[in-house]
């Protein structure tokens, strides 16, 4: 009979390998993200010129950089605070 331990260990190893590849993907995306942000900053282009539909993270990071530098003209939208949500989460959202 098959014991549940080998299948559990197999599942655990599979999860570990999946998480490792997930971290590798994050690291490679981070490098691409930094290159795009530097391109945006160095050439002083609008972020929409270098933004691609798949890179939502790039758009949000670029918006945060422009807010910190004071170059973003539009102010963040005031959102209604919901007492059931964690404080600060709504204020940090980009869109």
pLDDT in tens, 39-85: 666 555 555 555 554 455 555 555 555 555 554 444 444 444 444 44
Please give the distance of CA 15 from its chain centroid, rounded to a whole number.
22
**Domain map (residue ranges) of the chain:** 4-92
DSSP symbol at 85: S
Hey, what are 40's tokens? 């945006």
CA distances, 85 to each of 55, 80, 91 (Å): 27, 11, 11
Condensed to tens digits (0 to 9), the pLDDT of residues 11-44 reads 666 666 666 666 666 667 777 777 776 766 655 5
* Distance separating the N- and C-terminal Cα atoms of the chain: 55
Rounded distance between C-alpha atoms, residue 27 and residue 77, angstroms = 31
User: Can you tell me the distance from the alpha carbon of 39 to that of 42, in angstroms, rounded to the nearest whole number?
Assistant: 5
Q: How far is Cα 90 from Cα 69, in angstroms, rounded to an integer?
A: 21
């Amino acid at each position: 009979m098959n014991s549940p331990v080998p299948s559990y260990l197999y599942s655990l190893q599979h999860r570990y390998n999946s998480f490792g590849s997930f971290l590798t993907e994050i690291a490679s995306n981070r490098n691409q993200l930094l290159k795009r942000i530097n391109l945006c900053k160095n050439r002083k282009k609008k972020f929409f010129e270098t933004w691609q539909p798949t890179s939502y993270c790039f758009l949000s990071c670029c918006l945060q950089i422009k807010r910190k530098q004071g170059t973003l003209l539009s102010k963040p939208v005031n959102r209604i605070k919901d007492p059931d949500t964690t404080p600060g989460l709504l204020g940090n959202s980009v869109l």
